[in-house]
Structure 1
Amino acid sequence: MVTWNVATAEPPEDVTSLLQLDVQPPTDLYVIGLQEVNATPVRFISDLIVEDSWSHVFMDTLAPRGFVKVTSVRMQGLLLLIFAKQVHLPFIRNIQSTYTRTGIFGYWGNKGGVSVRFSFYGHMVCFVNCHLAAHMNNALQRVDEFEYILDTQDFDHADTPHVLDHKVVFWFGDLNFRIADHGLHFLRSSINGGRLNLLWNKDQLTMMKSKEPFLQEFDEGPLNFKPTYKFDRNSDTYDTSGKKRKPAWTDRILWRIKPKTLPSEDDDERASTSGDDGYDDYPIMVTQDKYTSDMTYGVSDHKPVIATFSVELRKCFDTPLVHVSPEGVWSADHDALLNYTVQEDFMSSTWDWIGLYKVGFKSPSDYETFVWVREDDLPETNEVIQLTVDKDDIPLLGGQYVLGYYSTNMQSIIGLSANFQVSMYSCVIFLHEYYTSNPEEVEPK
């Protein structure tokens, strides 16, 4: 996970360090939350038409390594991106996103929260990227804003209509909590001397957690990295401007495991035979392995914060809803065939489609071509359906490809074929004119 207030800057060319690309064991999911992405009116409108520059740099970096952008949500300067290894795509379902404005009485989207939720192997998880009110004296307002975001964000799912109904919630962003009471000299000398522990008890978020029960349900790793705000750009020097802002841990990543609810007297009999929401049958455990910042990036006056987590879970299912496979040899010489089979009943739609993707594709919309599923009757479970792909839509140069079944209702790819080869288009060019006009030549020049 990454959170970074980018202060309207353009992305750096290299995000290798930011994404911890060489970490072991390999990453399965990337969750990237940005704040203050350039949202001038002209720029924001253009970003609605094409991907913004930050999304591009992350997709261009991660796609060659087998990561696909699952989804994203944007509210002016707030941007949340989710990437997953291709192998996980059929098990990420029921994707929904929403947003809440809190800036300027809730009418302006410069502050607030954007969220993405989905089912991951049957476990409901939610990610909330926030940019809360600024300034030292607004700690209580920041708590109120977060509580407002939690109260107002709704999802179209009976079991998890609100953020805190999800089994795991990650809360992160520029939360803007400051370090209270201490003067600038003491702050900087403590940081330069590596005595960060002297500042922890005056961190406003830590102080608020001691007062607000709902905040106490969120866990956070130790703040063993330097405060990430505020720096002179393109340096690791804290603010030297006339304002001389005090350093603070404004950029944070927290998480929450849904607490078990105590059964009522009426539920005693049911509770004795099954765990709450399947916790006993399908447990999940989250462990933070790393919580740090990367001081090498200087495009913003904030430094990015990075956290890596190990999520241990028992899969509620491990079979894709749809099985998809190519039939025979694929090339642009002739029409191609594919088969798909619904393996488990789900809310399918005649707007569902199957895309042909080049291996290393960036997102579900990054297909070479697609075909609609059956236009009239939806298939029965285990019924084999065969579809035709027109030869004119098949890539001439061939290569390694994969087929993906996209569910409109779930907003995700719920079935993937194995990688397969599309053969290069074969053609013969008859060099007639040259030899007709130059019969004395033995070899062409």
Structure 2
Amino acid sequence: MLLSFRVANHRSLRDEQQLLLTDPASDAWEEGEPCAEGTPLPVTGVFGPNASGKSNVLDALSFMARMIRWSFRESEPDSRIRRRPFALDPIHLARPSTYIVDLRIAEHRYTYGFSVDDTRVISEWLYLYRSNDREIVFERDGDDYSSETARDLIDMASVIDIAQNVLLLSVAARSRVKNEAIRSVYGWFSDRFAMKRSLDTADLRFRLSTSSKFNDELLSRLTELLSAADTGISHLEFRRSERTPEDSLLRKRERGELIFHHRGVETEHPLTLDDQSHGTLALLDIGLRALQALKHGWLLAIDELDGSLSPFLTARLIESFRDPEANPRHAQLVFTSHDTALLGHIRGTEVLRREEIWLVQKDESGCTELFPLSSYRPDEDENRMRRYLAGRYGAVPHIDDDLFAVALAIRDRNQVE
């Protein structure tokens, strides 16, 4: 599980910002190091106005995952690292970008991080915690390596000329090195992290055509989800395509088509994916990812969750990640939103707890600041949505009403006739 993520010099995140996925009001963190008391949160929401930088928090975590998974395969020698440093200050274009995670995997905790500039990995490190004692799995400073617990890893690094733009973790995870810490951290990023941005219908169509995913239980749960959203869909059916001898010979996956049975005036009508609304497809996309995350214990990161789900459905999704029966493998949901309804109560139930809410705002220089709602002392009868809209927490846009009206005014009627 993800305990903490720190990032510096990524897009609008110029100075180091930290997102805690444990209660930030507890004493579980001291000087940026994880302590034993921190209980990971199943849900974390990041709120802020448009262009405040909230999406950049998840984008930075996604960039870190891409570097870990693909830097060894995709980076040509001497090629550039496709990072996005803070662009509003020329000084930071040349400064390194840094990414750090604190993870709890099985019974151990790990800290892994790296710093990169446009052409090389400047530093990289992996620490293992047994109780509160820190062990150095490896430390990298440019082309120099050191290790206390993985001597064979450093021997490998001295034999293999690891490119300057490739992470040691990415190379070591694919090598003969049998190190539990390396395999665990790499495996978390490759198998337990999923990022959801805007709807990609081509990707959704591909995932919906693979029959191995669709058993009766999954179809039933997706049907319940779509029915709860009042889509008019009574049930789903997966029609498998006939396999040809060539498919069997080449060991191709079974494929098919998902059929949506809609309620009509007198009978049901089977419709295809092309007949569904954008809202239904978006809901189906999130539903598939959420069910997979809950089943396998992933961290699911969703950017602009309010663009795909209504507040009521979002509240239901959040509650499913909190429910021990629905989430036995301790999956986590991290999302961004500017839907203020999620800061209050829906149908009499509090959607998010104080420790699950983070806020972002930009200063006059274009830098994003990330901070927890728990840093504000609660009122006796706190109305978070009202206080948020009133600017009591910051993280709201400063709109010039007159300038906004002028910008939208029709200046030449011939332009719209």
The structure with the larger Rg is: 1
Question: Shared topology, TM-score over 0.5?
Answer: no
TM bucket by the smaller chain?
Answer: under 0.3
Bigger relative contact order, structure 1 or 2 (CA pairs below 8 A, ≥6 apart): 2
**TM-score w.r.t. length of structure 2:** 0.25
Name the one with the larger helix percent.
2
**TM-score w.r.t. length of structure 1:** 0.24
